[in-house]
Amino acid sequence: MKDLFAVIMLSGIYGLLSASFFVAMDAVDVAFTEASVGAGISTLLMLAAITMTGRSEHPVRHKPVLALAVVIVTGSLLIYGTLDMPYFGSAEAPVHQHVAPRYINDSMQEVGVPNIVTSVLASYRGFDTFGEVVVIFTAGMGVLALLSVVRHPKGVAGDIEEIDSLNKSMHEEHLILRIVAKMLIPFILLFALYVQFHGDYGPGGGFQAGVIFAAAIILYTMLFGMSTARRVINQSLIQLFAAIGVLVYGSVGVISLLEGKHFLDYSALSADPVAGQHLGILLIELGVGITVASVMVIIFFNFAGRKDDQQNKENNES
Amino acid sequence: MILGLYNYWIVVVLMMVGFYIVIAHGNLIKKIVGLTIFQTSVFIFYISMAKVDGGTAPILAEGIKQYSNPLPHVLILTAIVVGIATTALGLALTVRIKEAYGSIEEEEIQEKDNLDC
Amino acid sequence: MDSLLNISSALFLLIGSFLCISGGVGILRFPDFYTRMHAAGVTDTLATAMILIGLMLQNPDGLVILKLMMILLMTLIISPTASHALASAAVHNNLMPELDKKEDNEKVTSSNP
């Protein structure tokens, strides 16, 4: 396949198919995340990248026989390795024996939250989630370091004139899309808030909510232009928010330390341990949601801003 | 015995497809897509291991006796988000490589590097 | 009453699945970009609406019906917009429908990719 556009679309379809597979495997939280992240954001970022790197692939000049041989050998070794594994869906598999029954049985008394995945993610394995938030933050900073463009301020009056003329010229072309988007974006944001705070009772939680929130902002940016979006969403404010999310997560842990218990032990947050767990989970999911939303917006703005900058340079030279 | 293990074999096939794409194609964007396919196949591996016959989603509700294992779900949730973080960074690097070398084909980049040294 | 609900929900689900399959066949077999997009739009909008209504009749519990109705409303607004976006992007890039070829043979480009 030479056309990278088709390749990226197919990988988006692959992500969506795997999300439906996850639903069939009873992994509803994972399916939600994979559908929003894998089929949504990932496809979007790849499309943004190929607008800058070129749409088709140069033809390969030699036949990759060695690669095929390596792949076949590795594949057969792996299949040989799986002959010992437990059957699909068996309840006596070792993975279901030691820690998982304790999580399933004791989660209601110790944490008091119906969604076991959220209680494990936020309370029993809170350290891993902290590391994950820091990884997302680092990725955002990395993209910022690689792709950010220095804005040359042209003065307030010149900027606004240029934005208004751009808006008028684009208005006719995208009229229906703009009107529908204006109707829908508040509902998308509301849905993101719903997913964020109902992560305790159904599938959802911080990551999915952050991604949906960022998707609403990206929709606005795509339809109304980068310059309008920059006026609505201040770049430095979003960077501040990304840091604030990580800070909220860390400070919940530090408060537990200051109360005399372990780092990220939520029972230190309130007199009743279960209420402390609820409060702790609420706060850290909020931190996660804020960071994920801001980092996704930062990454998209940098990809789109780089493209704008390249086009401006070409227009100035020619 | 063979029929009971088919989910692992599907995962191995997908993994090998992703692996082949990464090592056999020269275009950087295709490599990143292959990496995404590889990652998703690993997720399918873990999630298929978590499934218990006759279980439901691990959300506590009245009248349900058997739940699927929630622990791999948590691990994969983290893994999906980390995967997209690395994909975003990889794409940003690809864009910068294109600006610096003028192409994203592996062979042409290596030729330019050899010429410079 | 129960069997009436069951039968009507089964009817809606069957109609929805038939529309899905015919939309899929249409995408493969129609000759032109715009007709293929019509098939995709039918799958997106009408088949999804039928399946959702069938599901609503399957489970007459208040909260579930409310959620399914919201999904239905969103789908009815969003997917025609998506079809419109595809069509206007195609027109913007000078991909003309095939029927135009009979009138202006010189100006338009072919629409078979």
**Chain C touching partners, 3 or more CB pairs below 8 A:** A
Query: Can you say whether the dihedral through the CA atoms of B40, B46, B51, B56 is positive or negative?
Result: negative
d(CA C15, CA A302): 46
Which of C63, C76, C81, C86 is the best substitution to test chain A (most A C-beta atoms within 10 A)?
Answer: C81
Q: Angle, nearest 10°, between helix axes C2-29 and C48-58?
A: 160
Look at A99 and B25 and tell me if their CB atoms are within 8 Å: no
Count Cα neighbours of A41 within 13 Å in the Cβ-side half-sphere: 34
Does some domain include residue B56? no
Give the whole-number percent of chain A exceeding pLDDT 70: 91
Average pLDDT score over residue span A133-155 = 80
pLDDT score of A291 more than 90: yes
Answer yes or no: are the C-beta atoms of A130 and A250 closer than 8 Å: yes
The CATH code of the domain that includes B94 is 1.10.287.3510
B22 inside 8 A of chain A by CB = no
- pLDDT computed for residue A135 by the predictor: 92
Answer yes or no: are the C-beta atoms of A67 and B24 closer than 8 Å: yes
Which of B81, B96, B97, B110 is the best substitution to test chain A (most A C-beta atoms within 10 A)?
Answer: B81
Q: Between A162 and B48, where is the model more confident? A: B48
B17-27: pLDDT as tens digits: 899 888 888 88
B64 inside 8 A of chain A by CB = no
- pLDDT computed for residue A294 by the predictor: 93
Look at C78 and A187 and tell me if their CB atoms are within 8 Å: no
SS3 A87: coil
Domain that holds residue B93: 3-51+66-116
pLDDT score of A236 more than 90: no
Which of C88, C91, C92, C93 is the best substitution to test chain A (most A C-beta atoms within 10 A)?
Answer: C88
DSSP A268: G
d(CA A187, CA C97): 35
Nearest to A77 by CA among B7, B15, C80: B15
Amino acid at B21: I
* ipTM at complex level: 0.89
- pLDDT computed for residue C101 by the predictor: 55
- Bridge partners, residue A115, by sequence: B59
A107 inside 8 A of chain B by CB = yes
pLDDT score of A2 more than 90: no
A157 CA: distance to closest CA in chain B (Å)? 32
Look at A177 and C78 and tell me if their CB atoms are within 8 Å: no
Answer yes or no: are the C-beta atoms of C23 and C39 closer than 8 Å: yes
d(CA C72, CA C107): 42
Query: Closest chain C residue to A177 measured between Cα atoms?
Result: C81
d(CA B61, CA B59): 6
The structure's pTM equals 0.85
Answer yes or no: are the C-beta atoms of B73 and B47 closer than 8 Å: yes
Look at A34 and B78 and tell me if their CB atoms are within 8 Å: no
Closest residue to A180, CB basis, from C77, C88, C92: C77
Q: Measured between beta carbons, which residues in chain B are less than 8 angstroms from residue A83? A: 5
C102 inside 8 A of chain A by CB = no
**Number of compact structural domains in chain B:** 1
Alpha helices in chain C (DSSP H): 2-29, 33-42, 48-58, 62-92
Residue-range domain boundaries for chain A: 1-99, 117-318
